[in-house]
A and B are shown apart, each in its own frame.
Chain A
């Protein structure tokens, strides 16, 4: 029985074992991803730019800091809830948060953003302020903001920024510019206009003017962000304050040009790739087997029709047609899978038919049939088991090509936007020019993952090849 041989080839050869282990690891990881990722990850998270605003754009992975010597700020993000101190000042209550932040030698962060959530007040809207206390004790008032007061006809208590957090990109904020202008004039006697300051907000915040030219030298050391709110009533206040200092390096896999955490997208691609490979392989192989068996067994017109059809479908140049169909029907993973299935079955159908014809004329089958077994029973009991090994081999062989096909379509921009795949990540990297500026962390990993998954299946098929196709084994001529 050849199915057992296949099992042995997979379990007892190093190649087969390696393939199986790698596949098992991928399946386990996929299950974890499916369970732990939010529903509708594609639409709500991945393709939603708001979700990624606080990430640095096109940042290489964090571990790069250990590889190259270039100074890079690590991505820094912190959220605080309850204030540290609350003191009364006149009619106001001043709540303060002291948030320390360390700048390493030469590593000025790429941007600074403040997010405040869940502001509540009885009568008067709170005032928010952020001050940066620098290692040399100088203080920069970075921001002042008045929360929007009561609207006409509105009744207190008022709630602000519960669903739409107040996010201020400090490194690009107009009020920050003017505070900096003031700061420079007072502290260093420097007169700079807003347009001069705009591109170097971060350099100014985290550096001191350079005496020799009009640049700024980064100042390393311990900084403190002092965040304060001024409120009137006891129950007024904010839910949380978040500060982000954008790094030049981010996470395990870096980010793309809109700040998406590539590690998340890459992980999410795994179950998708496996599903595409397995579903296409399983269904197309089943169709091929059934049609091949029917063709070989029924003979006559059915045979002719099935064979002609297989022949034609097998010879259609698939990619152009796939592009066309997806373009017209719209990019949708189910459609992609459906079309791939529709074009992958003929090879097996032709092969199975030949095998069935061969077996049907064998003496065993003739004997069984003459004993009065029904056609379908003979097929099911005697022919199907012999076809099984080819069935399995074909599944293993079809899976990687389905994965590659989807990747290629995604790369052409025909991927399903609600389900991120590796092909789509590559497409984004290519379309936005990431390739030409050398964003390797955006380009290399998705491709490698495609290769990894596809070659897992290749390993499996390499392992079972001698069983399924013994003629290719190096045999001595036997005479």
Chain B
């Protein structure tokens, strides 16, 4: 059986007065069986949201480069023309709960109308209005909202409620894949936990989830597999156990080191150096200026996909036996 989602060589660059922003720069991954979740983890600004938008072909006006393939259930949806893609893929097969869901509801539309709008608007879905309403109300209940929510306007909802409405909305077509972009970052801890439980339930029901976050701990709570993203590229991808237990990329190790742990005396380490500017990327391995174990090849050659000992894919020369494993002299500045 073909994987639910397969992304190959995805690129999304933006034109910017100060140079091209290489927000998504050759990203490939897959999300295997239904009912699994893949975590997309990386620092702020590394291109996670851009990758989600690229998959949905949500391109801003200043897009400079966009290509790559997106396969859903063995169908290459990137081959579809824009209109066809909009009608048959967006929201039907692949739904997004965006970052900033707080402002993603139309302020002058009641929740019920907003929820059902894509179905009512779609030509192919012929469903009775009553049935539709029943289904949508069911979804509201499913995400834990009182039925009165149906008639409310967004300004009458709390942040957590809006997030739930967004999730309900994303489920209206029963899509195969749900992309959640930082679903909990604006919420307080208890609401955050409720949302995570909801996602776990949904996952258990067979929904595949692409879970985007900067919080690797949160991601590990729900995801079966994790992809660590650095400066527009995947640094390492594998099962949660592999990534958390035996991180293979120096960046992942640093990332894990920066998580504060309960009952741990050690202070969290911070990753030295600034996150890279996507307009002026370092040569070779993008991480090399911040890496604590760089090799002489690192500034020169872009790492290729390698298998780490623990089995995950990693893009780091440390895992290539064929290259010269000579440490780079770190120049003091």
Q: Which residues of B contact A476 (CB under 8 A)?
A: 60
Q: Does A479 contact B (CB under 8 A)?
A: yes
The secondary structure that dominates the B interface is loop
Q: Which residues of A contact B100 (CB under 8 A)?
A: 479
Q: Which residues of B contact A479 (CB under 8 A)?
A: 49, 98-100
Contact pattern, B 45-59, Cβ under 8 Å of A = 1, otherwise 0: 000010000000000
Size bin of chain A's contact surface = under 10
Q: Which of B65-112 contact A (CB under 8 A)?
A: 98-100
Size bin of chain B's contact surface = under 10
| A-B contacts, 5 listed (Cβ < 8 Å) | A476-B60, A479-B49, A479-B98, A479-B99, A479-B100
Q: Which residues of A contact B60 (CB under 8 A)?
A: 476
Q: Which residues of A contact B99 (CB under 8 A)?
A: 479
The 5 closest A-B pairs by CB, nearest first: A479-B99, A479-B100, A479-B49, A479-B98, A476-B60
Contact pattern, A 326-345, Cβ under 8 Å of B = 1, otherwise 0: 00000000000000000000
The chain A residue with its CB closest to the CB of B49 is A479
Nearest chain A CB to B279's CB is how many angstroms away? 14
* Complex CA distance for A479 and B96, rounded to whole angstroms: 14
Taking Cβ atoms with an 8 Å cutoff, the residues of B that contact A are 49, 60, 98-100
Taking Cβ atoms with an 8 Å cutoff, the residues of A that contact B are 476, 479
* Complex CA distance for A479 and B185, rounded to whole angstroms: 12
Nearest chain B CB to A177's CB is how many angstroms away? 81
Nearest chain A CB to B209's CB is how many angstroms away? 20
* Complex CA distance for A479 and B98, rounded to whole angstroms: 9
* Complex CA distance for A479 and B49, rounded to whole angstroms: 8
* Complex CA distance for A476 and B17, rounded to whole angstroms: 13
Nearest chain B CB to A478's CB is how many angstroms away? 9
The chain A residue with its CB closest to the CB of B50 is A479
Q: Which residues of A contact B98 (CB under 8 A)?
A: 479
Nearest chain A CB to B302's CB is how many angstroms away? 28
Nearest chain B CB to A216's CB is how many angstroms away? 75
* Complex CA distance for A195 and B188, rounded to whole angstroms: 102
* Complex CA distance for A476 and B50, rounded to whole angstroms: 14
The chain A residue with its CB closest to the CB of B14 is A476
Nearest chain A CB to B65's CB is how many angstroms away? 18
* Complex CA distance for A479 and B60, rounded to whole angstroms: 13
The chain A residue with its CB closest to the CB of B16 is A476
Nearest chain A CB to B17's CB is how many angstroms away? 11
Nearest chain B CB to A174's CB is how many angstroms away? 82
Nearest chain A CB to B184's CB is how many angstroms away? 15
The chain B residue with its CB closest to the CB of A477 is B60
Nearest chain B CB to A399's CB is how many angstroms away? 35
* Complex CA distance for A479 and B100, rounded to whole angstroms: 7
Nearest chain A CB to B106's CB is how many angstroms away? 16
Nearest chain A CB to B306's CB is how many angstroms away? 33
* Complex CA distance for A479 and B99, rounded to whole angstroms: 7
* Complex CA distance for A476 and B49, rounded to whole angstroms: 15
Nearest chain A CB to B236's CB is how many angstroms away? 25
Q: Which residues of A contact B49 (CB under 8 A)?
A: 479
Nearest chain B CB to A475's CB is how many angstroms away? 13
Nearest chain A CB to B104's CB is how many angstroms away? 10
* Complex CA distance for A45 and B98, rounded to whole angstroms: 73
Nearest chain A CB to B63's CB is how many angstroms away? 13
* Complex CA distance for A45 and B200, rounded to whole angstroms: 90
The chain A residue with its CB closest to the CB of B53 is A479
Nearest chain A CB to B23's CB is how many angstroms away? 12
The chain B residue with its CB closest to the CB of A478 is B100
The chain A residue with its CB closest to the CB of B99 is A479
* Complex CA distance for A479 and B50, rounded to whole angstroms: 10
Nearest chain A CB to B99's CB is how many angstroms away? 5
* Complex CA distance for A192 and B238, rounded to whole angstroms: 120
* Complex CA distance for A186 and B49, rounded to whole angstroms: 106
* Complex CA distance for A198 and B252, rounded to whole angstroms: 108
* Complex CA distance for A112 and B100, rounded to whole angstroms: 84
Nearest chain B CB to A479's CB is how many angstroms away? 5
Nearest chain B CB to A471's CB is how many angstroms away? 14
The chain A residue with its CB closest to the CB of B98 is A479
Nearest chain A CB to B243's CB is how many angstroms away? 26
* Complex CA distance for A476 and B60, rounded to whole angstroms: 10
Nearest chain B CB to A431's CB is how many angstroms away? 51
The chain A residue with its CB closest to the CB of B181 is A479
* Complex CA distance for A191 and B99, rounded to whole angstroms: 103
